[in-house]
């Protein structure tokens, strides 16, 4: 007897309309967005930002949310701290070049063989794209080896195909 909660449903259909929403799901979304686009150094700070976006909660809830989202707190070089989303929903810094290449059809295919991934590219493009992958997915990828039109991607230990797919999906998604 599957019955869908009307409220949840409503919100599910309005994921991007933050104005009048005050449920968890949306809040998590908002938190993600903020953390993706801003350097936030404490929960209090984040709390304030949430407030500005009509998400009024307490620090306790925020702490729970961050735990749920697996947001890590990491020191920065400038002596401050930053909350960062886990890699699979982390923005790839400087997405420009890589996506442009995809958009232009430089990346032809992606296939897996066991733990390894192979990216086929237009001739000559491999090293350029491999460099991008190296730099944007250091968390998932141990290294890449590029020939002329083929890149071998070696995921880190513990990284699943899904992880790699997620990582690339984010990238691929951006092209549209």
Is 5 an interacting residue with respect to DNA (CB under 7 A)? yes
Sequential DSSP letters for 112-158: EETTEEEEEESTT-HHHHHHHHHHH-TTTEEEEEE-SSEEEEEEPTT
Least distance (Å) between residue 75 CB and DNA: 7
Least distance (Å) between residue 88 CB and a copy of itself: 8
User: Which one of a copy of itself, DNA, none is in contact with 162 (Cβ closer than 5 to 8 A by kind)?
Assistant: none
Closer CB to DNA, residue 10 or residue 94? Answer: 10
- Please work out the total of residues on this chain that contact DNA, with binding judged by CB under 7 A: 28
Task: Give 132: exposed, middle or buried? Use CB within 10 Å, 0-12, 13-18, 19+.
Answer: buried
Query: One symbol per residue from 22 to 41: x for binding DNA (CB under 7 A), - otherwise; what is it?
Result: xxx--x--------------
Neighbours of 110 (CB within 10 A): 15
Is 49 an interacting residue with respect to DNA (CB under 7 A)? no
Least distance (Å) between residue 133 CB and a copy of itself: 12
Of the candidates 159, 3, 55, 171, the residue with the CA atom closest to the CA atom of residue 102: 171
> 71 to each of 4, 134, 135, 153, how far by Cα in Å?
29, 23, 21, 26
Closer CB to a copy of itself, residue 101 or residue 117? Answer: 117
Neighbours of 84 (CB within 10 A): 17
Closer CB to DNA, residue 67 or residue 114? Answer: 67
Q: Applying CB under 7 A, which residues contact DNA? A: 1-3, 5-8, 22-24, 27, 42-44, 56-61, 63-64, 66-67, 73, 75, 79, 81
């Amino acid at each position: 007897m599957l019955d869908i909660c009307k409220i949840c449903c409503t919100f599910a259909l309005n994921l991007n309309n933050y104005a009048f929403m005050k449920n968890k799901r949306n809040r998590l979304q908002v938190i993600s967005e903020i953390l993706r686009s801003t350097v936030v150094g404490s929960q209090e700070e984040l709390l304030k930002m949430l407030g500005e976006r009509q998400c009024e909660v307490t620090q306790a809830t925020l702490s729970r949310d961050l735990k749920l989202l697996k947001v890590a707190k990491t020191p920065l070089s400038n002596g401050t701290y930053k909350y960062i989303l886990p890699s699979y929903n982390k923005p790839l810094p400087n997405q420009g070049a890589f996506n442009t290449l995809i958009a232009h059809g430089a990346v032809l295919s992606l296939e897996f063989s066991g733990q390894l991934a192979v990216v086929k590219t237009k001739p000559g493009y491999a090293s350029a794209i491999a460099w991008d992958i190296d730099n944007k997915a250091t968390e998932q990828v141990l290294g890449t080896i590029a020939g002329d039109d083929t890149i071998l991607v070696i995921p880190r230990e513990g990284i699943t195909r899904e992880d790699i797919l997620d990582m690339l999906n984010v990238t691929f998604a951006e092209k549209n």
